[in-house]
Amino acid sequence: MHLSLLYRGRLSSCNYECAYCPFAKTYDSRAALRRDADDLARFVDWATQQRMDLSILFTPWGEGLVRRHYRDAMTRLSHLPQVRRVAIQTNLCVGMRWLDEVDTRTLALWCTYHPTQVSRAAFLARCRELARRGVRHSVGMVALHEHLDEIEALRAELPAHTPLWLNAYDERPPGYYDDAQIERLQRIDPHFRYNLDPAPSLGAPCLTGENVVSVDGDGNVKRCHFVAEPLGNLYDGSYAAQLRARTCPNSRCDCYIGYAHRPDLPFQRDYAGGVLERVPSFVL
């Protein structure tokens, strides 16, 4: 058996302040950070005891890698023989020395470039260091109008084998992108339209709830981040009896970490082996 887990704990603080970001920007107290670290340690201990194959993506509301407990967790998980992949969404702001201890055959990073928060030169230098270390990674941006030139400049300076994915701006008004802009963005990311204009989801097949689940800091298990239906708890094992094939109950799914698990869309094929970290199969 193979199970993919989307882990989102209590962390909600971020060192960046992007105006468009939908994630909560709150201050995490010392007590909240200790609780988040304890929750994460419990999750890692659970993973250590499993015999089934696991793939894990951390999707914190804030920036996880600035916190040592996330770096330590990823390092430990990367060395477990039952872990196929451990990845995290990150703005890539932290130093690279922690990567000295990881197993790069297992670890991967989903990196987002925020032009208002960091220079392109600094971000590219970090990407080059990831490549030098052999760390699998993808790079992405939110496709704001004011960043279209920056998107093309980043693509031109990234190595050809580094994937650059694009998310449509969530708060866009109707008609935000014209046809020429959409074509321009699709030349960078051929899958951009799936994020811009999601296919109807209601009744569509989805692997969430079957071999993909969402887990919070208390171990509560749901199908995914976008379906509230509880499946049980990770730590008492009650979730396992609920795993089965299901269809999507939502009218639409406009987030990659949701629709990437629909087998009727191309992502299970085009990103085979790299779905969680958003790395196309031709890179692996």
Token pair of 145 as six digits:
């109008």
* pLDDT tens digit sequence for 72-106: 999 999 999 999 999 999 999 999 999 999 999 99
Task: Return the closest-CA partner of residue 209 out of 197, 224, 198.
Answer: 224
pLDDT of residue 14 exceeding 70: yes
The pLDDT tens digits of the residues spanning 23-36 come to 546 678 999 999 99
Give the chain's length: 284
Strand order in the sheet with 53-58: 164-168, 136-143, 107-112, 83-90, 53-58, 2-8, 212-216, 220-224, 227-233
Give me the pLDDT at residue 24, please: 47
Query: Quick one: average pLDDT of 117-136?
Result: 96
Residue 8 has phi, psi (to 5 degrees) of: -135, 105
* Residue range 190-204, pLDDT digits in tens: 999 999 999 999 999
The 10s digit of each residue's pLDDT in 205-245 is 999 999 999 999 999 999 999 999 999 999 999 999 999 99
Closest CA to 242 of 257, 258, 264, 220: 220
Whether the Cβ atoms of residue 223 and residue 209 lie closer than 8 Å to each other: yes
Domains of the chain: 2-283 (3.20.20)
Contacts of 130 (CB under 8 A, 6+ apart): 92, 96, 99, 109, 111, 137
Distance in Å from the first CA to the final CA of the chain: 22
Residue 269 has pLDDT above 80, yes or no: yes
| Mean pLDDT value across residues 132-145 | 97
